[in-house]
């Protein structure tokens, strides 16, 4: 259920986004464009009447009926401006600084989120809904915070998580997905190093000796016939990419689904 909308704060204010950039808000935004699938779902579930635009990649909730503004890396800035948004919501990892800068130069207010851990996701979304949109903390967000406050299962399974092939790329350090893995009691065999999503030869994944290779269905759509065959003799599991990478309303249920998918249930 959407939170109870509070009385809108009178008068303009300035808030700093997750990068510390000041965003002037004459009033709590009422026309919002989201360039991040996770945040689109969060906005559509919580304040559906305010969401007016989203990317072509924003697939949830099903049947979302808003104006589409192309992709996360190539948004149609003219189409966004034509929607006359009070706010455009972006993410440092998913969107380009070039687009953020040009939207701001065109007079469009942009709020940039920075999310590289579960705690950052909870804090960032709490600020967005409470301090910016002025609707308080959504129930689904409070539920997610309770779920992910549980102790990590004592699994210790070593895992690798490819996100692309040809060339192969895997989840590395300082990522939201890496933090999710740690909170599930898993050890990311590529969890150290300089690159957040390193390119690695398939042989390097094998020699890292993971107990399980997890194959998400996004951004690359790994399937039972596309991915696991590269790792004979190593246990593999297909998992929801949304459960591993999205931080909207799916965040709470994701924990149980992931544990079940990798047969690593809480003790």
**Are residue 32 and residue 138 in the same domain, yes or no?**
yes
Cα 163 to Cα 56, 96, 104, 178, 240, distances in angstroms: 20, 20, 32, 12, 12
CATH classification of the domain holding 257: 3.40.50.1980
Q: Mean pLDDT throughout 31-35? A: 98
Q: Mean pLDDT throughout 87-99? A: 97
Q: Is residue 6 part of a domain?
A: no
Give residue-wise pLDDT tens across range 54-79: 999 999 999 999 999 999 999 999 99
Q: Is residue 266 part of a domain?
A: no
pLDDT score at 11: 57
**Are residue 133 and residue 245 in the same domain, yes or no?**
no
DSSP β-bridge partners for residue 162 = 170
Total structural domains in the chain? 2
- Burial class of residue 13, CB neighbours in 10 A (0-12, 13-18, 19+): middle
**Are residue 98 and residue 162 in the same domain, yes or no?**
no
Give residue-wise pLDDT tens across range 187-197: 999 999 889 99
Q: Is residue 51 part of a domain?
A: yes
CA distance 77 to 79: 5
**Are residue 66 and residue 85 in the same domain, yes or no?**
yes
pLDDT higher at 252 or 3: 252
Does the pTM of the predicted model rise above 0.75? yes
**Are residue 97 and residue 142 in the same domain, yes or no?**
yes
Q: Is residue 3 part of a domain?
A: no
- Structural domain including 196 reads 158-261
pLDDT higher at 8 or 40: 40
**Are residue 137 and residue 164 in the same domain, yes or no?**
no
**Are residue 63 and residue 126 in the same domain, yes or no?**
yes
Q: Is residue 267 part of a domain?
A: no
- Burial class of residue 266, CB neighbours in 10 A (0-12, 13-18, 19+): middle
Count CB-CB contacts under 10 A for residue 78.
9
pLDDT score at 253: 96
**Are residue 20 and residue 113 in the same domain, yes or no?**
yes
**Are residue 181 and residue 251 in the same domain, yes or no?**
yes
Query: For a pLDDT cut of 70, what percent of the chain falls above it?
Result: 94
Q: Is residue 4 part of a domain?
A: no
* Six-digit token string for 11: 């008068």
**Are residue 118 and residue 164 in the same domain, yes or no?**
no
**Are residue 133 and residue 252 in the same domain, yes or no?**
no
The dihedral built from the CA positions of residue 163, 169, 170 and 175, taken in this order, carries a sign that is negative
Q: Which of 98, 126, 147 is the last residue of a domain?
A: 147
Q: Is residue 116 part of a domain?
A: yes
* Cβ pair 50, 43 in contact under 8 A: yes
Q: Where are the beta strands (DSSP E) in the chain?
A: 13-16, 22-25, 32-34, 51-54, 67-68, 87-91, 110-113, 158-160, 162-164, 169-170, 187-188, 212-216, 235-239
Q: Which of 97, 113, 147 is the last residue of a domain?
A: 147
7 pLDDT exceeds 60? no
Cα 51 to Cα 66, 141, 242, 250, distances in angstroms: 7, 18, 21, 18
Q: Is residue 34 part of a domain?
A: yes
**Are residue 19 and residue 127 in the same domain, yes or no?**
yes
Count CB-CB contacts under 10 A for residue 200.
20
* Mean per-residue pLDDT over the chain, rounded: 92
Give residue-wise pLDDT tens across range 124-181: 999 999 999 999 999 999 999 999 999 988 778 999 999 999 999 999 999 999 999 9
Q: DSSP assignment, residue 212?
A: E
Q: Mean pLDDT throughout 252-267? A: 79
pLDDT score at 155: 78
Q: Which of 101, 120, 147 is the last residue of a domain?
A: 147
């Amino acid at each position: 259920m959407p939170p109870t909308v509070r009385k809108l704060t009178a008068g303009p204010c300035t808030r700093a986004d997750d990068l510390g950039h000041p965003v002037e808000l004459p009033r709590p935004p009422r026309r919002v464009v989201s360039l991040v699938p996770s945040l689109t779902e969060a906005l559509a579930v919580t304040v559906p009447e305010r969401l007016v635009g989203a990317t072509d990649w924003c697939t949830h909730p099903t049947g979302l009926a808003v104006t589409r503004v192309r992709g996360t890396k190539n948004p149609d800035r003219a189409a966004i401006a034509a929607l006359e948004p009070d706010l455009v919501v972006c993410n440092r990892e998913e969107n380009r600084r070039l687009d953020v800068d040009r939207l701001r130069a065109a007079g469009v207010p942009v709020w940039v989120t920075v999310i590289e851990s579960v705690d950052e996701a909870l804090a960032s979304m709490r600020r967005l809904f409470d301090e910016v949109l002025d609707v308080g903390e959504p129930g689904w967000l409070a539920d997610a915070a309770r779920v992910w406050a549980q102790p990590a299962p004592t699994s210790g399974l070593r895992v690798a998580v490819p996100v692309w092939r040809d060339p192969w790329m895997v989840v590395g350090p300082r990522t939201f997905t890496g933090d999710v893995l740690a909170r599930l009691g898993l050890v990311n065999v590529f969890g150290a190093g300089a690159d957040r999503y390193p390119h690695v030869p398939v042989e390097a994944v094998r020699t890292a000796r993971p107990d399980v290779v997890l194959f998400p269905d996004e951004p690359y759509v790994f399937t039972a016939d596309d991915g696991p065959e590269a790792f004979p003799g190593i246990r593999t599991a297909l998992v929801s990419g949304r459960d591993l990478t999205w931080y909207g309303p799916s965040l709470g249920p994701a924990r149980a689904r992931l544990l079940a998918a990798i047969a690593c249930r809480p003790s």
